[in-house]
Structure 1
Amino acid sequence: MADLITEAVAARLRAVGAHAVPEDLYAAAGSTFYERLVGSDRAEIREVLALARKTEGPILDLAAGSGRLTIPLVRSGRRVIALDLSADMLALVRHVLPGESAVECVVADMRDFTLARRFRLVILGATSLTLLNGEDRAALYAAVRRHLAPGGLFAFTLAGAIAEAELRVTRTEKIWVPGPDGAERYLFSQQIEDDGSARLVNWLRADDLVPGGRVTVFTSRLQVLGLDEICREIADAGFEEPNVSPVRSPQGAEIVMVTTSAVSSTTIAADDAVA
C-alpha cells in the first residue's frame, strides 16, 4: 500500500508516529468524502444541459459517480443511464433520486460495457478521462463508438492548458472541505510520477494527524493529459475532429469541453436498438 501514499504524506505520518490506512477515493467511505468534495461543484452542468436540449432520447452518463451530472439531467426531464464501476457511488445517486424511474443505475466498467441500446448523447464529465491510461482510454473510445447512434455526440471534459500545467506540479496544501457539521480542514497532497504523465493524490483530515494514530488516507492515481494528445487519440479511434469550447466554472478552474461524433457507424449492427 506504500505506493498509494505520497512522500509528503508519508513524512507527515512519520513525524507523529501515525500510520496510513489507504482508502479508494471512489469506494465505500471514499465515495462519501468525494461527494463532500465535489457535490457543490456546478462546473459543466450548464454546458451538459445545453447539449441535452439539442438531442433526443436517453443519455448515457459514464463514470457517473454520485450523480453530479445525472441528477440535474433527470430533474430537467431527461432519462439517464448512470454507469459507474463503484456501486457505492451509484448508491448516492439513488439516495437523491429514490424510486426515480427516469434514472437507471448500471454498475459497469466504462472501458468495457455492453448495453442493448445506442445513444444520441454520451457524456463523461469531471475530467474522468484522466482515470485511464492509454490502453484503457482506447478501450473506452471503442465502447463509446459501439453505443453511439448515427450522428450521436460524445462529450467529455479536460483541464485547459494553464490548469494542465498546474496539475504537473508536486504540491501539498491544506484545504477546507464541506461537511455535515461544518467545514473540516484536510491535507491535500499531489505527487507527480512517471516523468510528469501521472499524479498520485492523497486526502487526509488534518486533525487525524495525532501521535500513534491510524489515519484514513483517500487515494487516487490520475493521468495528466494534454488536449492535443487526446485529440490525436480520438481521431485514431475513429472519431471526427472535435469541437473544443471553454466550460464556465464558478470556482474559476480552467476546463474545456470536447465534443465529437463517430466518423462511421458501419461497425454497429444495423439491427441494434437505438435509444
Structure 2
Amino acid sequence: MKNILILGGTGKTGRRIGRRLQAAGHPVRTAARTAGDIPFDLGNLTTWAPALDGVTAAYLVEPDLQASVDHRARIPRFVAEAVAAGVRRLVLLSAHGVGEADDSHPLKPAEQAVRGSGVDWTILRPDWFSQNFSESFWLPGVLSGDLLLPTADGGTPFIDAEDIAEVAASALTEDRHSGQTYQLTGPRVISFGEAADLIGKAIGRTIRHVDVDPEDFVKRQVADGVPVDVARLLTGLFVAIRNGRGSAVSDGVERALGRPPRPFEDYVAKTAAAGHWN
C-alpha cells in the first residue's frame, strides 16, 4: 500500500521528494492533475478520497495563489479530510514571509490548518528556488540573455529544490521534525545580477539582469496571461528584494539535515553540465 501521498507530485519539489522516498524503499503515491500515480485536483473534491485511501503521511502544496480562490476552503478542508481518513503526519510547503504576513496571505489559512490538525506536522518556508532559473519563471530570460526583473541590486539566498526535497522527505518519515517550522534558504545572499553572471560564465554566454520598473513588470505579466492579483503579489515580492527586504540567510536546512545548504554555484554547475540552458 502506498501510504505517503505527495500533492503536486510532478512539480519541482514533488517529483524530487518522490524520487528520494522511492529510492529509500518508501511506498509513495504522487498526486497531480496529469502524469501522477493518481489524478488529483485540489479544486475537485471527488479526487480527494481516492488519493487519501490508505495514506498515513502527506505532503501538501497549494498550487493556486489567485485572490479568486477560497484558500480557507481548500488546504484547510483537505487537512480535515486527510486526518479523518487516517493521515497522521502532514508536511506543508509554505513560503518565506508567511509568518509575518497578515491573514490576507493565501498560505496563512493552510499553515493555521496544519498547526491545528491534531497530528504531527512540519511547515517548510523556502526562499526563491534556484531552479526557477532553469525550470520555470526565469528560464526564458536566461535563454534570451536578458533577465528582466524589478529587483535592482537587491539579493536573496536562493534555495536549491533538492534541499527542500531532502528536508520534506525526512519530515515525512522521521518523528524528529514534528512541530517544526523550517525557514529554508541557501548559504548566502546573491543578487540577480550575480546569479546571471554565474550562469553566463558556466554556459559561455552573456546573461544580463535588467532592472525594470515594477508597474511595467506587472503590465508585462498581465499581458502574458498572468492574473492581475497574482502579478501584483509576485511583483511585491520582487520589490521587497529591490528595497533590501528579501529573505535573510536562515539555518533551517542545517537544523533539519545537520549540514549546510547547497551553494548556488553547485546548482549552476550541475544544471549547466546537464544542458538545461543549451
- Tell me if both proteins adopt one fold, taking TM over 0.5 as the criterion: no
Q: Which has the higher contact order (CA 8 A, sep 6+)?
A: 1
More strand by share: 1
Shorter-chain TM-score bucket reads 0.3 to 0.5
Q: TM-score, normalised by structure 1?
A: 0.36
